[in-house]
Amino acid sequence: MVCPSVADFEAAALEDPTTRLAIESVQNLFDLRFAPVRARFTAALSAELTDDKLGEIVRGLVAAHGPPAQIVDAWPSAIEEKKERMPAAQVLVRMANGVRVNLLLVFDPEGAVKGLWLRPI
């Protein structure tokens, strides 16, 4: 399902570990390999985002926009919620029809993924 430019993107070359994980997550999600993605989830997120739910999200994006065509950018970031600043990482993906999709991963203090959003922008 993933085109070569997405599948072959060298995540290991990235210095920031959160950005590296976000790239690997995009590659795994669009290849429908959910176990390595979910292995990094907190227990609460794992209960919420089952393999079936992740599959539904990814298949819906591909049905609407075609397969991913290119990783446009990836960067570390942070979000603030209830006066708490949490580390995050984002990946911008261009789909076959030109629509851009953003993956946002948010991390807890121990580095586990506590939030995942994958949506067109």
Residue-wise pLDDT tens for the chain (121 aa)?
555 667 677 777 778 899 999 999 999 999 999 999 999 999 999 999 999 999 999 999 999 999 999 999 999 999 988 888 999 999 999 999 999 999 999 999 999 999 999 999 9
pLDDT at 92: 96
Q: What's 65's domain CATH number? A: 3.10.450.590
Residue 87: is it exposed, middle or buried by C-beta count within 10 angstroms (0-12/13-18/19+)?
Answer: middle
Q: Which domain holds residue 8?
A: 4-120
pLDDT at 31: 94
Taking the model in full, what pTM does it have?
A: 0.90
First to last CA, the chain: 21
Amino acid sitting at position 56? E
> How many structural domains compose the chain?
1
* Helices and strands (DSSP H and E) totals, the chain: 5, 4
Q: Where are the alpha helices (DSSP H) in the chain?
A: 4-7, 17-30, 35-38, 43-48, 51-65
